[in-house]
Structure 1
């Protein structure tokens, strides 16, 4: 084997749902003693990267501060309302309008370019939303692996009705939340979703953005954008899912479905780390875990509705709710909260919670990570879809018989939530199906198989 340094450079946006699986994989390689590991992301994630060290370090490469326009966590309340509205197409359109910023992408490209000059990577492992990193790998002819924390069809289905796609022509377009197969009305809706997405880019306002993108690409010597290029040119695509969680279609050989990428568990070190949470779980027989990700912003009415859900199920089930500190002022007075509700602003490990046998259902927003994590541990789901891909996971989970979706996710009706939770908790078939799919995820290999596949690539040998 060659003794020449063969650096591996990971690149990811800073959002937890995108970054975390990449950190787990980087740490697995570090634990194996793989040398020359680098991780490029935004400055606020420096400590997270540095904690990924194992037998060898994972060097942090800063891409500067987070651009608020590109980070859903820091979008204004007005933008948040637009991207989480009930119309799936309008929400999809709002995300594109907000995040399609060629000037900011170009700045990240230049910062990553400086990192590449310093590191000289033999291989890049790129999170699928980091388009500037894909552009750089293509321009510099650096072999790259694409990391996908979504369902496989999310990156294999084109939004362009005339573009190439790895899925069948009548397959549901990402972010539509449509089922498969579809009836005639749904097929028409699916086609209109694609056509409206295409029409979005001939709008005069978006036309100016496209012109700016073309100018910047010419200046940087970048190829013209093509949605499937990241798949076509990748050495390999690592997808944190299994075929059985998506609708059936022929998956290309270069896509390796490895299941959810999990760290070794438990992650928390004991009572001193989890503030007695494990002890609390150990003494409960039926717990509903409520966790809606890092992007969800609840209103006072929605918080009150969720408290009412716990109240109505008091005496039957316990509730553990991860509610961020900045949203806890929306809670009713502490003395009026039901006794079966435990609220935490932070958990040392959501995975430890989901792995606990007392947790019987995961009430989630249905994001890619949360959806796969819940199923990995064999937990049925109740889904309150938040935006874009959440609706796609929700419809597949319902069709697979592992979850139910709220009828009115925007308002959160307590009666609707109680009904869905009661049905999932009361029917053992939901759990049996989730456990079977969890077994398939674990058999797919996760972080260890991903590391094996990466280390076997020609670029590193």
Structure 2
């Protein structure tokens, strides 16, 4: 009886949500520009843009007759030049990516002006962190003020006119680009690093987003356990309110409409049935959904394929090959405050004392504290079993593909998760905010990873980190199972077509004007 009531309630709730979302208007056919031309427009953050860079690279290699343009902020220029050179080494007919520098305000800078910091982003899962999450959500949807939004909107509009591409390729968090492209009615596609559930939770039937699928930031298992059902419903309601009804976002939308924008910052209507949407959803490494919306392509991991590790940095690749190595890499932007460095140091002392592995730790300091905090690690630095680096001279995927990495310790970002999945390497996930908790739970459900410090997240303890790493590397029954399942899944992913090639093929279809 209780289940039936939940099903009915979920269906009613879903219907009520639909009332707030206007149906898609009848549209004229999209405008296509010059034949064999694609324009990518993205933010610079690796977690947002890597899928686009990987797709652009595959376009250069597989479709050298297509002219690839890429608009972003200055820091991405060097990376795209490297991608062009690598693609040309594989496909001599490949051309350079044409880079267009956006002079408007980058996403991170806009966030900082709103007072966002790493510490303000970190939040616990579930109800304990929902207030912070929903407050942050208003900024994440679109952090630019009206004037800054208009600067980028106008700049991108002019660029589209100048390049006149057959297709514009977008991401979900550069909202001025999405608004500009749609207001100009240009043919476009969206590539997302997220999974189907992340993007299309609300499309699932019978209101199952409330009672079956774990809410964003919940970290609940799938399907949602009975004990978490009411909390899951509450979390979903709070999320809907955050993106639809909050005064700050509503006022910004209203002002942008007065400036001539037709449907600005419509977060809940980003997907259109007539617009291709490409996702990294991967069978065996994603929560299965009941409904896949029209025009959505599940490409699996969309990853940048570059030179082997031995070519990128022979010395570091040689060190990694000396023995089983744990890679600790909490994404491109994470920096270690004193509250995070202390438990990590304690954990590494424990792991390096109890096992014979070696550790490569991407470490970047946040705040002022003494280097003495790292003193307990000195013996392991001196004997060569531990390396610290504030950046990795070898791309993470290339490191994982060496076969020498026995565990990938990361924060649960989609790119980090899918890199390890593709390489068949088990995970130790230390999530810090929002969707990271769901990837951590997913790794355990799939049997390919461990959620470290699950009981204390987002705070860490030395014991929580060390026990998670040791569980993966100690050779016991749990370790063997994790490694075998991760390897089996990785073998299956690599046996199929590469996600970046699937993504590039979908974009190429649109770049050829019919």
Instruction: Identify the residue that residue 183 of structure 2 maps to in structure 1.
Output: 139
Indicate if the aligned counterparts of 1:88 and 1:176 stay in contact, CA closer than 8 A: no
Counterparts of 1:172 and 1:325 in 2: how far apart (Å)?
A: 34
Question: Aligned with 1:122: secondary structure?
Answer: strand
- TM-score, normalised to structure 2, is 0.80
Q: Which residue of 1 aligns with 2:46?
A: 16
Q: 1:452 aligns with which of 505, 509, 512?
A: 505
Determine the structure 1 residue equivalent to 2:7.
none
**Equivalent residue for 2:134, pick from 93, 111, 116:** 93
SS at match of 1:157: helix
Residues 1:308 and 2:346 aligned together: yes
| Match in the other structure for 1:161 | none
> Do structure 1's residue 279 and structure 2's residue 331 form an aligned pair?
no
**Paired residue secondary structure (1:243):** coil
Are 1:110 and 2:160 counterparts?
A: no
Q: Does 1:401 align with 2:447?
A: yes
Partner residue of 1:259? Answer: 300
Normalised to the residue count of structure 1, the TM-score between the two structures is: 0.88
Q: Select the residue among 255, 259, 272 that pairs with 1:232.
A: 272
The 3 A distance-change label for structure 1 pair 327 and 253 is same
How far apart are the structure 2 equivalents of 1:67 and 1:265? 26
Cα separation, 2, equivalents of 1:141 and 1:245: 35
Residue pair 1:354, 1:374 contacting (<8 A) in 2 also: yes
Task: Determine the structure 2 residue equivalent to 1:436.
Answer: 488
1:365-424 per-residue CA deviation (whole Å, 9 max, x = no partner) reads 010100111111111111100212111111111111111112223332111111111222
Question: Is 1:293 paired with 2:352?
Answer: no
* Bigger RCO (CA 8 Å, 6+ sep): 2
The aligned residue for residue 342 of structure 1 is 387
Native 8 Å contact 2:35 2:513 kept in 1: no
In the alignment, does 2:428 pair up with 1:382? Answer: yes
Point out the more displaced range, 428-437 or 23-32.
23-32
Q: Aligned equivalents of 1:127 and 1:34: distance in 2?
A: 24
Alignment match, 1:168: 208
Structure 2 residue 81 is the aligned partner of structure 1 residue 50 = yes
Displacement, 1:452? 2.0
Query: Which of 170, 176, 179 matches 2:221?
Result: 179
2:438 aligned to 370, 384, 392, which one?
392
User: Secondary structure, in 3 states, of the residue corresponding to 1:428?
Assistant: helix
| Aligned residue-pair number | 449
Pick the aligned partner of 2:364 from 301, 324, 334: 324
Counterpart CA distance in 1 for 2:51 and 2:304 is 9
User: Out of 64, 69, 72, which is 1:33 matched to?
Assistant: 64
Q: SS where residue 139 of structure 2 aligns?
A: helix
Evaluate the alpha carbon distance shift between residue 238 and residue 318 of structure 1 in structure 2; reply closer, same or farther with a 3 A threshold: same
Say if 2:465 is the partner of 1:417.
yes
- Residue 95 (structure 1) shift: 2.1
Q: Distance in 2 between matches of 1:419 and 1:257?
A: 35
- Which range is displaced more, 7-16 or 403-412? 403-412
Q: Hey, what's the Cα distance between the residues in 1 that align with 2:467 and 2:504? A: 42
Question: Secondary structure in 2 aligned to 1:168?
Answer: helix
Q: CA deviation at 1:226?
A: 3.9
Please give the alpha-carbon distance, in whole angstroms, between the structure 2 residues aligned to 1:4 and 1:197.
40
3-state SS of 1:332 partner: helix
Paired position in structure 2 for 1:223 = 263
CA distance in 2 between partners of 1:458 and 1:36 (Å): 9
- The 8 Å contact of residues 151 and 245 in structure 1, kept in 2 or not, is answered as no
CA offsets, 1:297-344, max 9 Å, x none?
A: 322242132122221122522111011366796643766424132111
CA distance in 2, matches of 1:335, 1:448: 46
In structure 1, which of residues 195, 200, 203 is the aligned counterpart of residue 237 of structure 2? 195
Q: Verify the 8 A CA contact 1:241 1:258 in the aligned structure 2.
A: yes
Distance 1:228 1:107 in 2: 24
Q: Quick check: 2:342–2:373 contact (8 Å CA) kept in 1?
A: no
Say if 1:186 and 1:447 are closer, same or farther in 2 by CA, change over 3 A: same
Q: Separation in 2 of the partners of 1:174 and 1:3? A: 38
* 1:143–1:458 CA distance, 2 compared to 1 (3 A): same
TM-superposed CA distance for 1:92, in Å, is 1.9
Q: In 2, distance between residues paired with 1:125 and 1:202?
A: 25
Deviation of 1:42 (Å): 1.5
User: In structure 2, the residue corresponding to 1:116 is in which secondary structure?
Assistant: helix
Secondary structure at 1:411 match in 2? coil
Q: 1:253 to 1:201 in 2, by over 3 A?
A: closer
Per-residue deviation, 1:84: 0.6
Matched, 1:366 2:366: no
